[in-house]
């Protein structure tokens, strides 16, 4: 009996051990399964606020899912400096290795894309792609003067006459451009040194706007590898050692499944709103909607639509590098146009408002990145639209001033009345279907037509009708 009981205890202990081992193995399998995947997302077009939001969301997902790596497939002509720095910070702080892959063939990582490529733990390119031309142009305008500008206007001829070396046409010509260029060069050099890549070429990409093909980049140690597709990218990156903070991490990627992460709805909306043309149109629709609502109180629809559009427009502008002088001019122009609508000044305020609005819209976004500048065509269309509305308002105002009064006492001045009865210099007259007390000259007869000269409360001062001569020389 005692032996049987011991055997039972032993059997229960063995079963508990197996169950515990199975649970631990299951947890390990879940952990391995959660880490045995690669997140892949595509970044195309200019780098802006929507790109920052999308990259941050992908990297956050990679942390929560404990993925093995994140692949940023890149194809960009450049973008905003602030947005680029935010993405670089997200990559450098990521606990998951980030692989930037310039693809498909024909894609490029120009300007901002070069910085992102250098910041990544693994830099890869597809055949037929290129990178470079990372000179900052957001400050200082076109480097080296305007195209076609004579050498003597930039001071370059004196240097050439002195026998110096050829002048670099991309060298910054003012303090602000030099500061921006030096700052960008220091940033990309630090990124290159962090990951053991070619820092000298990185600096030349900033200072001389140099570019490289994929094969040249690999030869000069600008990138780590060339891959024709995602499968070969994972195979070639497998086993590489990358710097993660103060430690090194060995990549184990071969054969792992790749999960595609698409841009979310909120990010897509932000991508649309971060277009300065869309932001400006929304803001103007909002302003005109509110103007029409105040002009016709109780319409409701213009006010609701205008408030929504204005809020979205201001939110969109908040995502962009604003020039506050331009924003102030737009606000001043709108204020002038609103003042013209409610206090007609025969076009003076309206014309000033259109001029201020056009200048402000041209200055609104403080960047030379073409994708984030307000279109001159849009500025012209909005100015013409505003001018058309003001022309209609001005015409309506002039017509209203010229039109005879339709209410009040003034509308009766000059009107004809018929005498009902008269005694001395007072009596009663009939005008516009009403009986009025009247004063005037003596001798008026019932049925005689007279003209109203003045309205004094409820008493009319009358005189002879048009063409009739007065014996006393005029009305009393």
The structural domains of the chain, with segments of one domain joined by +, span 1-31, 36-266, 275-402, 409-464
Residue 102 has what pLDDT? 95
pLDDT at 139: 37
SS (H, E, C) the chain: CHHHHHHHHHHHHHHHHHHHHHHHHHHHHHHHHHHCCEEEEEEECCECHHHHHHHHHHHHHHHHHCCCEEEEEEEECCECHHHHHHHHHHHHHCCCCEEEEECCCCCEEECHHHHHHHHCCEEEECCCCEEECCCCCCCCCCCCCCCCCCHHHHCHHHHHHCCCCCCCCCCCCCHHHHHHHHHHHHHHHHHHHHHCCCHHHHHHHHHCCCEEEHHHHHHCCCCCEECCCHHHHHHHHCCCEEEECCEEEECCCCCCCEEECCCCHHHHHHHHHCCHHHHHHHHHHHHHHHHHHHHCCCCCHHHHHHHHHHHHHHHHHHCCCECHHHHHHHHHHHHHHHHHHHCCCCCHHHHHHHHHHHHHHHHCECCCCHHHCCCHHHHHHHHHHHHHHHHHHHHHHHHHHHCCCCCCHHHHCCCEEEEEEEECCEEEEEECCEEEEEECCCCCCCCCEEEEEEEECCEEEEEECCCCCCCCCCCC
| pLDDT tens-digit profile, the chain (476 residues) | 455 454 444 445 555 554 444 443 433 333 333 458 899 999 998 888 888 999 999 999 888 887 889 999 999 988 888 889 999 999 999 989 999 999 999 999 998 899 999 999 999 999 999 998 888 764 333 333 323 334 443 344 444 344 444 455 555 556 777 888 898 899 999 999 998 999 999 999 999 989 999 999 999 999 999 999 999 999 999 989 888 877 888 898 888 889 999 888 887 887 788 788 888 888 888 877 887 777 777 778 888 888 888 888 888 877 777 778 888 888 888 788 777 766 666 667 777 888 888 888 888 776 666 667 778 888 888 878 877 776 776 666 666 666 655 555 666 777 888 888 888 888 888 887 788 888 888 878 888 888 888 888 778 888 887 655 444 333 33
Check residue 406 and give its pLDDT.
55
Residue 116 has a pLDDT of: 94
Output b/e per residue, 212-241; b: 16+ Cβ within 10 A. Answer: bebeebbeeebbbbbbeebeebbebbeebe
Question: Between 276-295 and 301-318, two packed helices, what is the crossing angle to 10 degrees?
Answer: 150
| CATH domain 409-464 topology | OB fold (Dihydrolipoamide Acetyltransferase, E2P) (2.40.50)
Using the CB atoms, write b or e for 80-108: b if 16+ within 10 Å.
bbbbbebbbebbbebebbbbbbbbeeebb
- Predicted local distance difference test score (pLDDT) of residue 41: 93
Fold exhibited by the domain 36-266: 2-enoyl-CoA Hydratase; Chain A, domain 1 (3.90.226)
pLDDT for residue 360: 85
């Amino acid at each position: 009996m005692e032996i049987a009981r011991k055997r039972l205890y032993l059997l229960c202990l063995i079963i508990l051990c197996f169950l515990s081992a199975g649970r631990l193995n299951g947890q390990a399998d879940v952990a391995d399964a959660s880490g045995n995947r690669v997140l892949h997302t595509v970044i195309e077009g200019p780098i802006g606020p929507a790109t920052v939001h999308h990259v941050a969301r992908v990297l956050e997902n990679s942390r929560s899912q404990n993925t093995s790596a994140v692949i940023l497939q890149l194809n960009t002509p450049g973008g905003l400096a602030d947005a680029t720095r935010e993405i670089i910070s997200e990559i450098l702080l990521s606990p998951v290795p980030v692989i930037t892959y310039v693809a498909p063939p024909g894609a490029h990582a120009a300007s901002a894309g070069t910085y992102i490529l250098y910041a990544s733990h693994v830099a890869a390119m597809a055949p037929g792609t290129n990178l470079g031309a990372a000179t900052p142009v957001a400050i200082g305008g076109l480097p080296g003067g305007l195209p076609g500008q004579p050498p003597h206007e930039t001071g370059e001829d004196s240097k050439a006459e002195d026998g110096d070396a050829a002048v670099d046409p991309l060298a910054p010509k003012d303090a602000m451009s030099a500061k921006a260029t030096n700052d960008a060069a220091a940033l990309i050099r630090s990124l290159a040194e962090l990951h053991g890549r070619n820092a000298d070429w990185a600096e030349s990409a900033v200072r001389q706007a140099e570019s490289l093909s994929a094969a040249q980049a690999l030869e000069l140690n600008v990138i780590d590898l060339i891959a024709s597709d995602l499968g070969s990218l994972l195979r070639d990156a497998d086993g590489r050692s990358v710097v993660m903070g103060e430690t090194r991490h060995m990549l184990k990627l071969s054969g792992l499944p790749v999960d595609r992460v698409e841009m979310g709805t909120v990010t897509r909306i932000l991508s649309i709103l971060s277009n300065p043309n869309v932001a400006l149109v929304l803001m103007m629709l909002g302003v005109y909607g509110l103007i029409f609502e105040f002009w016709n109180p109780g319409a409701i629809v213009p006010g609701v639509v205008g408030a929504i559009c204005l809020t979205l427009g201001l939110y969109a502008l908040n995502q962009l590098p604003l020039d506050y002088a331009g924003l102030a001019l737009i606000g001043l122009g709108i204020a002038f146009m609103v003042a013209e609508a409610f206090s007609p000044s025969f076009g003076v305020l309206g014309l000033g408002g259109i001029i201020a609005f056009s200048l402000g819209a041209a200055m609104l976004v403080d960047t030379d990145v073409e994708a984030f500048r307000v279109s001159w065509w849009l500025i012209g269309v909005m100015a013409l639209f505003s001018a058309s509305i003001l022309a209609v308002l001005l015409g309506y105002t002039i017509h209203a001033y010229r039109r005879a009064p339709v209410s009040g006492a003034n509308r009766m001045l000059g009107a004809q009345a018929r005498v009902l009865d008269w005694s001395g210099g007072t009596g009663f007259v009939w005008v516009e279907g009403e009986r009025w007390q009247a004063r005037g000259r003596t001798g008026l007869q019932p049925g005689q037509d007279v003209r109203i000269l003045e309205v004094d409360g409820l008493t009319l001062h009358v005189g002879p009708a048009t063409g009739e001569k007065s014996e006393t020389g005029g009305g009393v």
